[in-house]
Amino acid sequence: MSRQPPGAPPPPIVQRIRLRYTKRGRLRFTSHRDIARVFERALRRAQIPMAFSAGFSPHPKISWVGAAATGVASEAEYVEIALAERRDPEQLRQQLDASLPDGIDVTEAVEAAPGSSLPDRVQASLWRIELPQVTQIALQQAVLAFLLKDCVEVERMTKNGRRTFDTRAAVVSMSAAGAADCAILTVVVQHVTPAVRPDDVLTGLRSVSDLATPVPPAATRLAQGLLTAEGEVADPLAPDRIDSTAAGTSEAVPTAPG
Amino acid sequence: MPVESLFPRLEKLLPQVSKPIQYVGGELNSQVKDWDEAPESEMVRWCLMYPDAYEVGLPNQGVMILYEVLNEQPNTIAERCYSVWPDLATLMRQHAIPAFSIDAHRPVKEFDVLGISFSTELGYTNMLEALDLAQIPLHAADRDATHPIVLAGGHAAFNPEPIAEFIDAAVLGDGEQAVLEMTDIIRRAKREGLTREQTLLELAKSGGVYVPRFYDVSYLADGRIQRVAPNHPDVPFRVRKRTVMDLDEWPYPKQPLVPLAETVHERMSVEIFRGCTRGCRFCQAGMITRPVRERSITGIGEMVEAGLAATGYEEVGLLSLSSADHSEIADIAKGLADRYEGTQTSLSLPSTRVDAFNIDLAQELSRGGRRSGLTFAPEGGSERLRKVINKMVSKDDLVATVTAAYGAGWRQVKLYFMCGLPTETDEDVLEIAEMARDVIRAGRQVTGTRDVKCTVSIGGFVPKAHTPFQWASQADPATIDRRLMLLKDAIRSDKSTAKAIGFRYHDGKPGAVEGLLSRGDRRIGRVIEEVWRQGGKFDGWSEHFSYDRWMTAAVATDIDVDWYTTRERGELEILPWDHLDSGLDKEWLWSDWQEALSEQDLDDCRWIPCFDCGVCPQLGTEIQVGPTGRKLLPLAIK
């Protein structure tokens, strides 16, 4: 008649690993929820010794840091996983990467520095947006017009209904370049609420100029992290790397089976 | 002739549609084979469709099995497609992008066969939408050598007459061997350069493929069918269903598809047996899938092990029409629970019957960590009605079973019923409220808390072909809706239990359309086409289904819906599906119908002598049940 699940409570967390992963090609059409399911299954197939929550419906301990929107590609997504047994981060990275579909590629894995918070190290994103069939000049004019404004309001459906918000204040820097049959926008955007997404920036650009995008532009997040004094986006895993180097490798790391 | 991928054109549209990932393909364990692996005349290419949204269609076991069975063959390709939501369909038409497979995004119209699996008749309008998007003529008569053979399968194919003018062929029963035999016939036809008509004739001559164009239907003045007869000397009078006898020889899916997108069933499924001889008279699945064929305990263990490794799923469903009836279910449950204890893998038996044995099973299965929900299906509200439908469970059994579940720690159970069963009265339905109240009272007593709940879930009964109720009058939507409201009021009227009893119901209107389609004849095709022309699709979705559109279309095409649904048929009437042989003897079905009306129940032939339903002698099959006496040993490596 017990309302507690039978058996012992789940084993404790012994290690936290921070991962950088990508959302490339067709996989950019996954939603955040899709990514979460894909990860959970890949972790099981790769037999990563995850730590689980307690209760009737135990879940693996996975902490997501933001997430690129559906349809948006990324080279710099981050997630933290908690393990019930220690693992070598690089071996874990290879096993998990082999188990994930092509396009979701785990590019870095580091052990989390104790007591630090990954979300606190993510403040802004560097975006690269390709605009097919747009000239560099047309884009440049739109960028100039945008940067000259103090406020560029756009409207979008959010969880809380249709909202109007400013996109200008969140933009740290913005520039235009050209490539074959497309213009390329590079923009650093601060993470604010409501989120200013790449398509909001484009809506803003269109609203201050006669920029037209005949083909849907393709956005890719190149980096996310803290903003440096120079307005650049720092690597959020750098402090963990420094920490693990400083700590040395005195502790023996067991080799994963298989 | 190489076929180009439509993906580059589709990709530009995807940012504009909802849930674009469903059109991208690339699921774990999906495959893309070389289109031109061999000379054209050697290649046989199937596009397998489940005519509903991706989230419903992807987990479909039938499509998954055939996809793998076909792709294992050399020079044979199987790809998949699902129904496209209206937002993308509109864009595809605007940009002239034809329907595509989601594996390699090849045009559906370039395949040799478009095989559509119908679990329900409500997918018919989606078939027409798919054909139109694929740029394939709607009517079989308008197709030529360049078009795929449009093939129907699945349970609804046991009466494909309403879609006879849209399909080229139908297969009844198990598909595993049938698709391979069809592939051989089509390959031979391509080698020999046969025409479309000749190829279809070869398929029809095989005896296991129904080709409607080789059968003529004539009608009596009163509208009933006079005769269904072949119009070609080489095709059989009756087309027989296909039956796979040894499930252990067909351990599919070996590599279940794991989607990127969210779907309705997020689990690894293993079919533990096929067929059911419980003899519930309303149940088409139980009638048309006879006899019972069990997968062995060791075969099940191997499939679970391989499937979990291949998918990473955290839940295993042991599927069948009544899973607790497997002759070795206790050993299976214990063996799997032992193997997967501590691995955060949950095990579930989705279809369970009402007895205490099930609670023990469910407890055994939940040892692995997660506890799945419990659903019991008494189906009929009163003891009398349960005799009519041959679902033998007493109210005392039910209350005892649910009480045991509450006692074992469950706090919520679901009870499933049907409304509109033959001979049903208001009183029969109102007894459901009493049953639910008794369940709650007993649950409160055994747990010593008021924290117990049950949900009564109820839908309208639809009489189906090849069942003892195929002659029955279907209750009209007004009667069903009135009884459902009476029941709702009765549940709510007792304040002491009202809050503990949830009530979920489906109104009677979709059932009327399903009834029209499931017992319809070839004349119903024009209603389906008219509904689709008026924008009807996704009829299985309440937000898309329009009863008025169906009724208006029936009037416009001169079809009397009541004649097809509420009219009781006589013993001698030729039924539209009489030339399609499910193995069941029509005289036996009639006598079972008569016994239903006199409230006589019938036992399960697995455990008592045969009562001549006809299936085994007709099809040369036999019941295959254990026990094998074997056990599941612990896995060496977890």
Beta strand B44-53 with B76-83 is parallel
The rounded distance, in Å, linking the Cα atoms of B316 and B294 is: 18
DSSP per-residue letters across B589-602: HHHHHHHHHTT---
The number of domains in chain B is: 3
Query: How close is the nearest chain A Cα to the Cα of B295, in Å?
Result: 26
Same domain, A139 and A197: yes
| Residue B449 maps to a domain | yes
The rounded distance, in Å, linking the Cα atoms of B67 and B102 is: 13
DSSP per-residue letters across B26-54: --BT-----TTSS-GGG-EEEEEEEEEEH
> In the predicted model, what is the mean pLDDT of chain A?
90
| Residue A1 maps to a domain | no
Contact list in A for residue B7 (CB cut-off 8 A) is 26
- Which residue in chain B is spatially nearest to A49 when comparing CA positions? B343
Checking if the pLDDT of A56 tops 90, the result is no
| Residue B247 maps to a domain | no
Positive or negative, the CA dihedral A186, A187, A191, A194 is negative
Last residue of a domain, one of B183, B216, B235: B235
Average pLDDT over residues B320-333: 91
Same domain, B504 and B608: no
Cβ contact B429:B486 at 8 Å: yes
| Residue A258 maps to a domain | no
**Which two three-digit tokens encode residue B160?**
């494909």
The strand ranges marked E within A103-213 are 106-111, 124-132, 153-158, 161-166, 171-179, 182-190
Does the beta carbon of A6 lie under 8 angstroms from any beta carbon of chain B?
A: yes
| Residue B251 maps to a domain | no
**Which two three-digit tokens encode residue B380?**
């009929």
Contact list in A for residue B370 (CB cut-off 8 A) is 56-58
DSSP per-residue letters across B487-538: HHHHHHH-HHHHTTEEEEE--SHHHHHHHHHHS--GGGHHHHHHHHHTT---
Same domain, A112 and A130: no
Checking if the pLDDT of A248 tops 50, the result is no
Residue with tokens 């007593």: B445
Of B12, B369, B408, the CB nearest to A215: B12
Residue B183 host element (H or E): helix B176-192
Checking if the pLDDT of B54 tops 80, the result is yes
| Residue A71 maps to a domain | yes
* DSSP classification of residue B296: P
Same domain, B316 and B399: no
| Residue B256 maps to a domain | no
Beta bridge partner(s), residue B429: none
Does the beta carbon of A216 lie under 8 angstroms from any beta carbon of chain B?
A: yes
| pLDDT value at residue B246 | 94
First to last CA, chain B: 48
| pLDDT value at residue B375 | 85
Return all residues near B216 (Cβ < 8 A) that are at least 6 apart.
Answer: B228, B229, B230, B231
The answer to whether the Cβ–Cβ distance between B409 and A215 falls below 8 Å is no
- Which residue in chain B is spatially nearest to A59 when comparing CA positions? B344
The rounded distance, in Å, linking the Cα atoms of A127 and A137 is: 19
* DSSP classification of residue B326: S
> In the predicted model, what is the mean pLDDT of chain B?
93
Checking if the pLDDT of A258 tops 70, the result is no
Same domain, B582 and B620: no
Instruction: Provide, rounded to the nearest whole percent, the portion of chain A with pLDDT above 90.
Output: 77
The rounded distance, in Å, linking the Cα atoms of B504 and B484 is: 10
Q: How far is CA A29 from CA A195, B495, B617, in A?
A: 19, 50, 53
| pLDDT value at residue B624 | 80
| Residue A160 maps to a domain | yes
**What pLDDT digit, counting tens, does each position of B238-295 carry?**
999 999 999 999 999 999 999 999 999 889 999 999 999 889 999 999 999 999 999 9
Same domain, B357 and B503: no
Residue A181, domain CATH: 3.30.70
Choose the most confident range, by mean pLDDT, from A126-140, B383-397, B615-629: A126-140
The answer to whether the Cβ–Cβ distance between A1 and B407 falls below 8 Å is yes
The rounded distance, in Å, linking the Cα atoms of B24 and B12 is: 12
Peptide bond before residue B627 is cis, with ω within 30 degrees of 0: yes
Same domain, B23 and B129: yes
The rounded distance, in Å, linking the Cα atoms of B435 and B442 is: 11
Query: How close is the nearest chain B Cα to the Cα of A175, in Å?
Result: 24
Same domain, B514 and B397: yes
Peptide bond before residue A60 is cis, with ω within 30 degrees of 0: no
Of A33, A41, A52, the CB nearest to B258: A41
Query: How close is the nearest chain B Cα to the Cα of A246, in Å?
Result: 36
Q: What angle do CA B116, B120, B124 make, to 5 degrees?
A: 60
Same domain, B157 and B199: yes
DSSP per-residue letters across B44-112: EEEEEEEEEEHHHHTT-HHHHHHHHHHHTSTTEEEEEEEEPPHHHHHHHHHTTPPPB-TTT--BGGGSS
Residue A38, domain CATH: 3.30.70.580
**What pLDDT digit, counting tens, does each position of B564-607 carry?**
999 999 999 999 999 999 999 999 999 999 999 999 888 888 87
Q: How confident is the model at residue B508 (pLDDT cuts 50, 70, 90)?
A: very high
Count of CB atoms within 10 A of residue A141's CB? Answer: 17
Same domain, B131 and B142: yes
Same domain, B105 and B19: yes
Q: How far is CA B159 from CA A100, B470, B563, in A?
A: 43, 11, 17
Alpha helices in A129-197 (DSSP H): 136-148
Does the beta carbon of A256 lie under 8 angstroms from any beta carbon of chain B?
A: no
- Which residue in chain A is spatially nearest to B9 when comparing CA positions? A215
Checking if the pLDDT of A256 tops 60, the result is no
| Residue A4 maps to a domain | no
| Residue A255 maps to a domain | no
Same domain, B596 and B609: no
DSSP per-residue letters across B543-555: TT--HHHHHHHHH
| pLDDT value at residue B552 | 98
The rounded distance, in Å, linking the Cα atoms of B601 and B391 is: 8
Same domain, A152 and A99: no
The rounded distance, in Å, linking the Cα atoms of A115 and A225 is: 18
The CB-side HSE value for B289 (13 A sphere, CA atoms) comes to 22
Of B15, B311, B341, the CB nearest to A216: B15
Same domain, A80 and A155: no
The answer to whether the Cβ–Cβ distance between B19 and A42 falls below 8 Å is no
**Which two three-digit tokens encode residue A21?**
């992963």
| pLDDT value at residue B200 | 98
Q: How confident is the model at residue B356 (pLDDT cuts 50, 70, 90)?
A: low
| Residue B33 maps to a domain | yes
User: What are the two backbone dihedrals, phi and then psi, of residue B12, each rounded to the nearest 5 degrees?
Assistant: -70, -25
Contact list in B for residue A2 (CB cut-off 8 A) is 409
**What pLDDT digit, counting tens, does each position of B137-163 carry?**
999 999 999 999 999 999 999 999 999
| Residue A254 maps to a domain | no
Select from B381, B591, B564, B351 the least CA-distant residue to B465.
Answer: B564
**What pLDDT digit, counting tens, does each position of A107-130 carry?**
999 999 998 999 999 999 999 999
Does ipTM exceed 0.90? no
The rounded distance, in Å, linking the Cα atoms of B297 and B329 is: 8
Of B14, B370, B447, the CB nearest to A29: B14
| Residue B123 maps to a domain | yes
Does the beta carbon of B407 lie under 8 angstroms from any beta carbon of chain A?
A: yes
The number of domains in chain A is: 2
**What pLDDT digit, counting tens, does each position of B381-418 carry?**
999 999 999 998 888 888 888 888 888 888 888 999 99
Residue B272 CA, distance from chain mean position: 16
Peptide bond before residue B137 is cis, with ω within 30 degrees of 0: no
Residue B494, domain CATH: 3.30.750.200
The rounded distance, in Å, linking the Cα atoms of B514 and B461 is: 10
The rounded distance, in Å, linking the Cα atoms of B200 and A216 is: 45
- Which residue in chain B is spatially nearest to A51 when comparing CA positions? B344
**What pLDDT digit, counting tens, does each position of A182-236 carry?**
999 999 999 998 899 999 999 999 999 999 998 889 999 999 999 999 999 999 9
Alpha helices in B228-317 (DSSP H): 284-288, 297-311
Beta strand A153-158 with A161-166 is antiparallel
The CB-side HSE value for B244 (13 A sphere, CA atoms) comes to 21
Specify the length of chain B in residues: 638
| Residue B255 maps to a domain | no
Cβ contact B140:B167 at 8 Å: yes
Same domain, A160 and A108: no
Query: How close is the nearest chain B Cα to the Cα of A216, in Å?
Result: 7
The rounded distance, in Å, linking the Cα atoms of B166 and B180 is: 23
The answer to whether the Cβ–Cβ distance between B266 and A30 falls below 8 Å is no
SS3 B441: helix
The rounded distance, in Å, linking the Cα atoms of A131 and A214 is: 9
**Which two three-digit tokens encode residue B269?**
């499924």
Peptide bond before residue A194 is cis, with ω within 30 degrees of 0: yes
Same domain, B589 and B455: yes
Residue numbers of the domain that contains A57: 15-118+236-247
Beta bridge partner(s), residue A80: A18, A63
- Which residue in chain A is spatially nearest to B29 when comparing CA positions? A101
| pLDDT value at residue A250 | 42
Q: How confident is the model at residue A257 (pLDDT cuts 50, 70, 90)?
A: very low
Same domain, B84 and B178: yes
Beta bridge partner(s), residue A23: A74
Same domain, A185 and A171: yes
The rounded distance, in Å, linking the Cα atoms of B412 and B522 is: 45
Residue with tokens 């069941």: B584
| Residue B241 maps to a domain | no
Whether pTM exceeds 0.90: yes
Beta strand B501-505 with B453-460 is parallel
Beta strand A182-190 with A171-179 is antiparallel
Beta strand A62-65 with A73-83 is antiparallel
Instruction: Provide, rounded to the nearest whole percent, the portion of chain B with pLDDT above 90.
Output: 82
**Which two three-digit tokens encode residue B347?**
């095990």
The rounded distance, in Å, linking the Cα atoms of B434 and B360 is: 26
| Residue A6 maps to a domain | no
Checking if the pLDDT of B548 tops 60, the result is yes
Beta bridge partner(s), residue A20: A78, A108
The rounded distance, in Å, linking the Cα atoms of B593 and B471 is: 8
Residue numbers of the domain that contains B607: 267-372+603-638
| pLDDT value at residue A158 | 78
